[in-house]
Amino acid sequence: MKIISHDKKVHMDLQNIIILALIGIASGLLSGTMGLGGAIIIIPALVMLLGFSQQMAQGTTLMMMVLPVGAMAAYHYHQQGFVDIKAALVMGTFFFIGGYYGAKMAIAIPQDILKKVFAVLLIIIAVKMLFFEKVQQ
Asked if residue 112 has pLDDT above 90, the reply is yes
What distances in angstroms separate CA 88 from CA 2, 10, 76, 96, one per listed residue? 33, 33, 15, 12
Chain segment 77-111, per-residue pLDDT in tens: 888 888 888 888 888 788 888 888 988 988 899 98
7 close to 59: Cβ distance less than 8 angstroms? no
Q: What span, in angstroms and rounded, lies between the C-alpha atoms of 55 and 67?
A: 19
Asked if residue 3 has pLDDT above 50, the reply is no
Question: How high is the pLDDT of residue 66?
Answer: 67
